[in-house]
Amino acid sequence: MKSKSINIFERHIEKLFFLVMVLVLLAVLVKQFALGGMTVKVGSRDGQSITQAYERISEDALQIEGQIKANELDSRAPSDAPGVDDLFIALAQGSAEDSDRLTTWGLPTGADSLDTPISNPGSEGVRYAMPDQPAPEQPLTRRYAGAIDPAALAMAPGLEDYLPPSQPYDLQFTTVSAEFDAEALRRAFSEDPDGSGPAQAMPRHWWQGQLVLLDVELWRRRVDTESSEELVAPMPGFSEVRKRLANDATNMQEILEIATNASDSVTRPEFYPIIAGEQWTPPAAPIQRSPEELESFTRRAQLDRLNQEIEDANNARSELTGNTSKRSRKDDGADEMKNAWVSARGGGGRGGRPSGRTSRPATKTPEQRQAESREKSIAAIQEKIDRLTDDRNEILDWFTDKGIDPESIIEEDPGQRLLNEPAGSLKESDRLTVWASDISVVPGATYEYRIRLVYGNPFYGRGNVLAEDQRSELSDARVIRSAFSPWSDPVEIDQQSYFFLTRAGLSGGVLDVGNAASASAEVYSFYYGYWRKAELRLRAGDPILAEYELPELNRFEMADPGQGGNGEFAAIPLESTLVREMDTLLLDIRPSARVRRDALKGGRADAELYEVVILDAENEIDVRQPESDRISERRRRLKDSANLAADAVIAEPGAGGVGGIEAPRAKDRTDRSGGREDRSSDRDFPSREER
């Protein structure tokens, strides 16, 4: 049925309303996105974007938070707020005394009447100055080397750039630590920077909210080459705050929150897990001890040394007595047979020698002479054991008289103690200890380091209350930096391999001129967290090429979870030998004139009269002498590491712990069966009566 009473407008009113609403919505969207976006009003400022408004509100919130948390008022603050009459007088007359009171409360002064516009108090009134920043103290450095846990690569993207292309992931690095006087920094912020000058100390609530340690900058320079100073890149996985500081678009409030929540990783980053090698702890000053404590530690060290020497002597005696008991039965039977035969022949003479002639005494057999030599050695060893035991008992008597259990005297690692202490903060601690590591060192290089700290700038975002000529200078930068610490002592990074001469001379002795000269050498190479040792016999023209015998070692591969793996590592055996060649050539083995003169003066002649001429990796000629190489401190250190390597435990991936596992110590040996040796004499110290 057709409706004739309804006009066309009434029939389409719904469509017209919908069209109007669509047009309004389009206008709003165009204004929002095409004509500059939405703005809001914050305080007295109109037309600010949402992002700007958020930053402004965040800064105001920080200021209010600082005011709430402040535990003391500004020293210039009056005991009561100015009254209304005081306000009118100051505004009308601008008297000096009342102006000071009003300025303290943040109120403008100097107006001729209430109708006069009030100017920004910072443009003509209060001035500030950036206080001098204290510097960290003398840095401590330490060189480390170990095999990085393969699981660490998943935790720290980018770490693979600093590691070998395949396992073991051996790495040399340094850690630098320094103490910082946080109380001196707070004092610099709170005190008048120029005394009677125009500048005054900044309000406390300004710097309380910004006083957050954001970064520890580690700078280095090479001292073995002419190179410029450079900022060391942070370790991968520990650089979040530094990245955000480099991005000007990042909100400062966000950076402060990240640094506060992750303060340890910013200022005291623990190192990656190490599955083989020395345990990592930050470098720390020795623990201060009283004279009594120092004597206890000295005597405990002497006791450990004596126990070790007694054990070694007992082992040497056991080897000799075991051989003696085995051979004596055979020797005794031979002597009985020989004596019977001599008696039947009428003496010790030969064949048909007449019995009336005087016979020569029977010559001792080599076995007899060897047995006598063994007995003398056993007696000498026993005498040494008795002497060492007397010395040990004397030290035990000292501990007994003092009432001290020697087992309680344990040398604590200062670095481990430092790790166990709380990190502290710039706002509350008197002193802080911070550190940073350098994993980009070059083998063979020598470095010096220095440190400076980065923290928030209290003037940032407060340009509206600063004098106009100070705004750019004081408030533009988001952070300020401390002064630099002094340069550290030089740190020499180890090369990959070293060799040390232990002997040089003629093969048959100095007087045997018919033999060619040769040299004996120990070669060390760093592999899987430790130094490995090989011994070589060299002649002129030989390269330094060594083959190292290795214990059972594995590399680890993790099955891909996408391929049905469970995320665990599978152990794959490595080769049992390692071959490495140094870029060094032995040119000549020749008599040493300096040593020969010394030897001839004393009437001596020995193998140390020879020296070795080598061509090193830099194509430079070097002359080496065995007597100097044998007493090298580096050789001792590398040899100790090689001795540890034989019994060292390789941790499972993911189980090494932050900072590595502790290597077995020389006094904590284990036998080859895996059981601990019986060291009861070391653990249970007997009383005087028992001794």
Say which residue, 171 or 605, is predicted with more confidence: 171
**How high is the pLDDT of residue 57?**
74
Instruction: Supply the pLDDT for residue 38.
Output: 58
Of the candidates 124, 106, 134, 107, the one whose C-alpha atom is nearest the C-alpha of residue 203 is: 106
- Using 50, 70 and 90 to split pLDDT, how confident is the model at 55? low
pLDDT of 133 higher than 70: yes
pLDDT higher than 60, residue 329: no
Rounded to two decimals, the pTM is 0.64
Band of pLDDT at residue 669, cut at 50, 70 and 90: very low
Radius of gyration for the chain, computed over Cα atoms and rounded to the nearest angstrom: 41
What span, in angstroms and rounded, lies between the C-alpha atoms of 567 and 334? 69
Does 123 have pLDDT greater than 50? Answer: no
Q: What is the mean pLDDT of residues 655-680?
A: 38
Q: Does the pLDDT of residue 668 top 90, yes or no?
A: no
pLDDT above 60: residue 660: no
Rounded CA-CA distance 311/317 in Å is 10
The band of 336, judged by pLDDT with boundaries at 50, 70 and 90, is very low
Assess whether pLDDT exceeds 80 at residue 598: no
Handedness of CA 651, 652, 655, 660 (dihedral sign): positive
175-208 burial, b for 16+ CB within 10 Å, e for fewer? bbbbbbbbeebbebbbeebeeeeebbbbbbbbbb
What is the rounded average pLDDT of the residues 640-661? 76
- The answer, yes or no, to whether residue 376 has pLDDT greater than 70, is yes
Q: Per-residue pLDDT tens for 183-192?
A: 999 999 888 8
Going by pLDDT thresholds of 50, 70 and 90, the confidence category of residue 139 is very high
Comparing C-alpha atoms, which of 637, 667, 665, 658 is closest to residue 280?
658
Per-residue pLDDT, 418: 85
Q: Beginning with the edge strand found earlier in the chain, give each strand of the sheet holding 170-181 in spatial order.
A: 274-277, 140-148, 170-181, 431-438
524 or 42: whose pLDDT is higher?
524
Q: Which residue has the higher pLDDT, 199 or 29?
A: 199
Residue 401, pLDDT > 80, answer yes
- Look at residue 32 in the predicted model and tell me its pLDDT: 63
Res 52: pLDDT:
66
- The pLDDT value given to residue 578: 94
Judge whether 268 and 429 are in contact, CB under 8 Å: no
The helix or strand, by DSSP H or E, that contains position 87, with its residue range, turns out to be helix 84-93
Long-range contact pairs involving 71-76 (C-beta distance under 8 Å, separation at least 24): 72/204, 74/104, 74/203, 74/204, 76/100, 76/104
Over the chain, what is the mean pLDDT? 76
Tokens linked to 280: 């990592």
Phi, psi of 586, deg, nearest 5? -85, 115
**pLDDT at residue 198, rounded to an integer:** 78
pLDDT confidence of 62, banded at 50, 70, 90?
low
For residue 121, is the peptide bond before it cis, meaning its omega torsion is within 30 degrees of 0? no
Q: Which of 220, 218, 236 is nearest to 228 (CA)?
A: 220
Structure tokens at 175: 């850690």
Handedness of CA 196, 199, 204, 207 (dihedral sign): negative
Instruction: Dig out the tokens for 26 from the structure.
Output: 């389009």
**pLDDT tier at 127 (50, 70, 90 boundaries)?**
confident
Residue 320's identity, in one-letter code, is L
Summarised one tens digit per residue, pLDDT across range 436-460 is 999 999 999 999 999 999 998 988 8
- CA nearest 624: which of 585, 577, 662? 585
547 has a pLDDT exceeding 90? yes
Q: Please give the pLDDT value at position 343.
A: 44
- Residue 4 pLDDT class (50, 70, 90 cuts): low
Contact status, residue 276 vs residue 651, Cβ threshold 8 Å? yes
Could you read off the pLDDT of 21-33 as tens digits, one per residue?
888 888 777 666 5
pLDDT at 352: 43
Residue 205, token pair as written in the block: 């609530």
Percent of residues, the chain, with pLDDT higher than 90 = 31
Of 614, 617, 671, 666, which is closest to residue 644 (Cα–Cα)? 666
What is the per-residue pLDDT across 424-437, written as a single tens digit (0 to 9) for each?
888 888 999 999 99
345 against 152, higher pLDDT = 152
Least confident window among 61-65, 362-366, 580-584: 61-65
Helices (H), 403-436: 414-420
Degrees to nearest 5, angle at CA 146 with 144 and 149:
130
Confidence of residue 362 (pLDDT cuts 50, 70, 90): low
